[in-house]
């Protein structure tokens, strides 16, 4: 019985079932009929181009990066949701995964594109930069995949796209730690693919050569080799789209970049002579 001034009204007892349903509805993340892609490193370069390609293909995008203003530029003209995050921060991967699942209710595709570079002789590389490259290019990606994967496996579908590099396939001088991180990513992709067999979840490793982005400026040295020539971020994004559409395990951009790895595997001596000559 509730009394207000001289008026009295009767409040019927709440229906427990209705109350529970209302509470569940409040806690249930919003759902979308479109497939959901979480793209990291989406503030620039390959990540931004890939996000735009999937948005054009009708996917619902969750975009993550450290620079909100640039994320807004990537999302312009789309219905993408921005989830700024620093994957180098403690629990950064966990917090991003939780925010993404809270926002969309599911993740059908993870494009792990966040990463940094460093160029110069290994003996001059500061220890802090060794740790930073390894953490952002390898550890943070593994932690994010670990957070996202259980929901995909439970759903019986999904795909993880790992953005590697030809440096991880062949090793590039004066990019020793970056090469090591990307090689680790390639090994992780192969091992994880085997573990996920039969779950409905796939793993794609994207292996681009040099790409025309701000990556080289940010690492502290411009790209100076005459070969291979840099390709565009849009071309890499198109290759990612095709690989996901066709459920490919690996894709090299350009495709001839598979050749150095084959030469290295079949004739390592010849490979190293060519590397000494052409770099």
Cα distances (Å, whole numbers) of residue 248 to 120, 172, 186, 276 = 34, 26, 14, 33
Q: Which two tokens stand for residue 165?
A: 């590099």
Which of 10, 178, 223, 252 is catalytic? The answer is 178
Residue 155 CA to residue 157 CA, distance in Å, equals 6
Residue 181 CA to residue 67 CA, distance in Å, equals 23
User: At a CB cut-off of 8 Å and minimum separation 6, what does 208 contact?
Assistant: 46, 163, 164, 165, 166, 231, 236, 239, 252, 253
178 is an active site residue: yes
> Got the DSSP string for 40-58?
ESTTSHHHHHHHHHHHHTT
> Got the DSSP string for 63-117?
EE-S-HHHHHHHHTTS-PEE----TTSTTHHHHHHHHHHHHHS--SEEEE-----
Q: Which two tokens stand for residue 11?
A: 């409040």
Residue 268 CA to residue 112 CA, distance in Å, equals 31
Q: Which residues are catalytic?
A: 178
């Amino acid at each position: 019985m509730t009394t207000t001034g001289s008026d009295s009204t009767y409040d019927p007892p709440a229906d427990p079932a209705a109350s529970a349903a209302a509470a569940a509805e409040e806690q249930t993340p919003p759902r979308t009929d479109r497939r959901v892609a979480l793209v990291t490193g989406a503030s620039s370069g390959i990540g931004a181009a890939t996000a735009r390609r999937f948005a054009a293909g009708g996917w619902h995008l969750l975009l993550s990066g450290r620079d909100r203003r640039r994320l807004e530029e990537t999302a312009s003209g789309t219905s993408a949701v921005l989830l700024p995050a620093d994957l180098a921060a403690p629990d950064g991967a966990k917090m991003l995964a939780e925010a993404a699942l809270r926002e969309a209710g599911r993740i059908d595709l993870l494009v792990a594109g966040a990463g940094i570079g460093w160029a110069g002789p290994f003996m001059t590389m500061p220890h802090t930069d060794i740790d930073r490259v390894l953490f952002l290019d390898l550890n943070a990606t593994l932690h994010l995949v670990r957070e996202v994967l259980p929901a995909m496996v439970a759903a019986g579908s999904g795909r993880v796209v790992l953005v590697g590099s030809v440096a991880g396939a062949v090793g590039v001088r004066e990019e020793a730690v970056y090469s090591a991180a990307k090689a680790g990513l390639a090994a992780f992709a192969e091992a994880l693919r085997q573990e996920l067999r039969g779950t409905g979840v796939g793993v794609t490793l994207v292996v681009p050569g040099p790409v025309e982005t701000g990556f080289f400026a940010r690492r502290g040295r411009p790209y100076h080799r005459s070969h291979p020539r840099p390709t565009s971020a849009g071309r890499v994004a198109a290759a990612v789209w095709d690989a996901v559409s066709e459920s490919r395990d690996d894709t090299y951009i350009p495709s001839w970049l598979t050749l150095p790895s084959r030469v290295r595997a079949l004739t390592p001596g010849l490979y190293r002579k060519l590397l000494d000559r052409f770099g």
